[in-house]
Amino acid sequence: MNKYLITRFLTLAAFIILMCSCNEDFLERYPQDEISDAAYWTSEKDLENYVNGLYDILPSYTGYAPKYAWENGTDNMIGDDRGVTMINGRIWNTNGDAPASSSTWNGAYDNLRKINYFLEQKDKVGEDILANASAAHYVGEALFFRAWVNFDLLKTFGGVPFIDQVLSTDSEELYAVRLPRDEFAQKIIDDLDEAIENLQWSGSGPAAASMRITKEAALGFKTRVALFEGSWEYYHAKMASPFKVDGKDGSDFLNEAISASQMLIDRLGDNIYTTDYRTLFNQDHYYDIPSVLLYREYLPSDGIGHRWWNYNGAGGGGIGLTKSLVDDYLMVDGTPIELSADYQGDATLEAVVASRDPRLGQTIYHPGQGTLGEIIGSSYAGTAPGITSTITYYKCSTGYFCYKGVAPQDAVYNGSPAGQGLIYLRYGEVLLSHAEAKAILGTITQSDLDRTVNVLRDRVGMAHMDMANVTSWGGNYQKRYPDESNLINEIRRERRVELAMEGQRYDDLRRWGALEQLIGWVPRGAKGQQFLDYANSTEGQAVGYSLSASGIYLDEEGYLLPIGHRSDFQDGGTGFVFNANRDYLQAVPRGQIVLYQEKGGVTLTQNPNWN
């Protein structure tokens, strides 16, 4: 099999350089220079081995964790308890006191130190070696990782100190001030541009093999970064929010997103995975699927320690998709449910998926894939669809159990080498980003939609998005974003549906300045009566079963309330809370502010409305 197994092995000396730490501030933790040129930095293999160790920067799950639970706590997915950490402000410090420290801040700057050390030392291998395409590729990978880490900082804190060198305790840059967010974002784009120049196209050389970062991955990531920052600047300026960038409308970054995505469109065209949508997300590898730009594979012997099995247990994992998400799926003819005479309502799961976008039936469980008794409840020991071994499951909290990415076989559940891979970047996201950036700028055409949104729709047999048709919708048409055009609403809907549970939703709501719409929101699930009817049927064999006795709550219309056991999510409760003038960014940790002031005499500014 043509697979490149990324090893984690480094020489002992290089490992010590990478991983040693002390009790001082993270910016002061710099690699020691005792290793001589003769011991390391003498070959292309040294570059490869060092960069291999940076792959641990990519997010990972170990053990039995729900694969697509990254959106738990958004309006896409809700757990049955306090798992609503993302957009429910009450989980944060509601009095606005910044935390003393932040693992996100510390971890990012620790990783930047490792990356910058490589970029400073690489020249020691010599110009002849660095002139090799594969050696240059490894340099491109390091630049990609620096952009990846800095993008996490940007999303979390906004503009922060940009560090592109290894710092010592007497470096002037040790207490660098925060860059304005647009300048910091441009630094990320600059790194990605240099990475793209150095990286090879996938499969064009041994360094650009499966699971490694390639030119395609860097272009895809640049598209993500540029769309995020461009739309953030555009919408927060439009709202006059505390998080706007003075004098900027995001157009520069939106054009960067269009440029990067266009390069991928020119290369990949309509080459997306054309087998059913669900199957894309439970492969054990992706080396033969060009539309997957970056992924990791479950390889128990590769030394990395990332075990990707059982992403989404067939029992629900105590989480579920929301009615809000399910209602956003169009009918198969491309019309919203409120405008369609073919919509059969939502009294049963069978009715919910009837004549709908096929991606809905491939995203949620419905009869034919598993019985109702296997979907709703607290927990049970038994089997699940396609699984013969007996396992204890935590059932779905909403009745809309995520089917997308569910492991298809026993071996996956047992943690064998047949486990699933995890997608970080895929071409479908790039297509949607291209359409959105053009729509925001007002330059989108029907031809653009045909090369982007409609390529994705063709895969599942959905009617095309037609600009003239969408623009004409009125009457009962329900805009989720009332201040935006029909077209913007529909492109956002398409993104939500196509990328559901892939970790984009929270960032999308933040960059659109749309979190306010969730203030007071109470998440709901499926209609509860169908589960009660099943439990009391001959098949269900639980005559006398009571939803309330099982700790399952319904609202006055009969919809499941996944966190209805909490009074603030019952009738008259406050629902979700959110401070729109503060919570778009997290607080800079107080410890860093004190450290900058006491040791550097520098004021590290705090984010708006944090103490």
Over the stretch 517-531, which tens digit does the pLDDT of each residue have? 988 899 999 998 887
Residue 374 has pLDDT above 70, yes or no: no
When pLDDT is averaged across residues 353-367 and rounded to a whole number, the result is 93
Single out the residue in 513, 546, 561 at which a domain terminates. Answer: 513
Q: What mean pLDDT do residues 87-93 have?
A: 49
Give CA 531 to chain center in angstroms. Answer: 32
Q: Is residue 187 part of a domain?
A: no
Is pLDDT above 50 for 21? no
Q: Are residues 288 and 426 in the same domain?
A: yes
Least confident residue range of 24-33, 447-456, 540-549: 24-33
Do 212 and 295 share a domain, yes or no? yes
Range 7-29 average pLDDT: 37
pLDDT tens-digit profile of 581-590? Answer: 999 999 999 9
Residue 441 located in a structural domain: yes
Asked which of 470, 491, 513 is the last residue of a domain, the reply is: 513
263 pLDDT band, cuts 50/70/90, is very high
Please report which confidence band the pLDDT of residue 231 belongs to, taking 50, 70 and 90 as the band edges. very high
- Residues 405-453 pLDDT 10s: 776 554 444 444 456 778 999 999 999 999 999 999 999 999 999 999 9
In a domain, 4, yes or no: no
Cβ distance 143 to 194 under 8 Å?
yes
Average pLDDT of 446-472?
97
Instruction: State whether 543 and 506 are in the same domain.
Output: no
Q: Report the SS3 class of residue 449.
A: helix
Percent of the chain whose pLDDT exceeds 70:
78
Does position 380 have pLDDT exceeding 50, yes or no?
Answer: no
> Dihedral sign, CA of 522, 527, 533, 539?
negative
Domain count within the chain: 2
Residue 398 has pLDDT above 90, yes or no: no
Residue 585 lies in a domain: no
Q: What is the C-alpha separation between 219 and 216, in angstroms, rounded?
A: 5
Q: How confident is the model at residue 545 (pLDDT cuts 50, 70, 90)?
A: low
Are 339 and 289 contained in the same domain?
Answer: no
Contacts of 461-468 with C-beta under 8 Å, sequence gap 24+, read 461/332, 461/358, 462/330, 462/332, 462/334, 462/357, 462/358, 462/359, 463/332, 463/333, 463/334, 464/334, 465/334, 465/490, 465/494, 466/334
Please determine, for residue 13, whether its predicted confidence score (pLDDT) is greater than 50: no
Q: Are 288 and 370 contacting, i.e. CB atoms less than 8 angstroms apart?
A: no
| More confident site: 458 or 65 | 458
Cα distances (Å, whole numbers) of residue 285 to 5, 131, 210, 266, 387: 12, 32, 9, 25, 21
Task: Domain of residue 554: give its range.
Answer: 58-100+310-409+524-580
Least confident residue range of 6-20, 126-140, 490-504, 584-598: 6-20
Residues 303 and 425 in one domain: yes
Q: Is residue 140 part of a domain?
A: no
Give the whole-angstrom CA distance, residue 577 versus residue 516.
Answer: 9
| Residue 353, pLDDT score | 96
24 within a domain of the structure (yes/no): no
- At 370 the three-state DSSP class reads coil
Q: Are residues 327 and 359 in the same domain?
A: yes
Residues 472 and 544 both lie in one domain: no
- Residue 302 within any structural domain of the chain: yes
pLDDT at 383: 39
- 528 and 464 within one domain: no
Looking at 513, 534, 569, the residue that finishes a domain is 513
Burial of 544 (0-12, 13-18, 19+ CB in 10 A): exposed
Binned at pLDDT 50, 70 and 90, residue 570 comes out as confident
The pLDDT of residue 565 is: 78
Residues 290, 329, single domain; the answer is no
Say if residue 190's pLDDT is above 70: yes
Q: Out of 308-312, 315-319, 462-466, pick the least confident.
A: 308-312
The answer on 548 and 509 residing in a single domain is no
Q: Are 443 and 298 in a shared domain?
A: yes
* CATH number of the domain where residue 437 is located: 1.25.40.390
Do 490 and 472 have their domain in common?
yes
Q: For residue 64, what are the CA distances in angstroms to 75, 180, 306, 502?
A: 24, 40, 11, 17
Confidence band for 82, pLDDT divided at 50, 70 and 90: very low
Structural domain contains residue 401: yes
Confidence band of 306 (pLDDT split at 50, 70, 90) = very low
C-alpha of 262 from chain center: 22
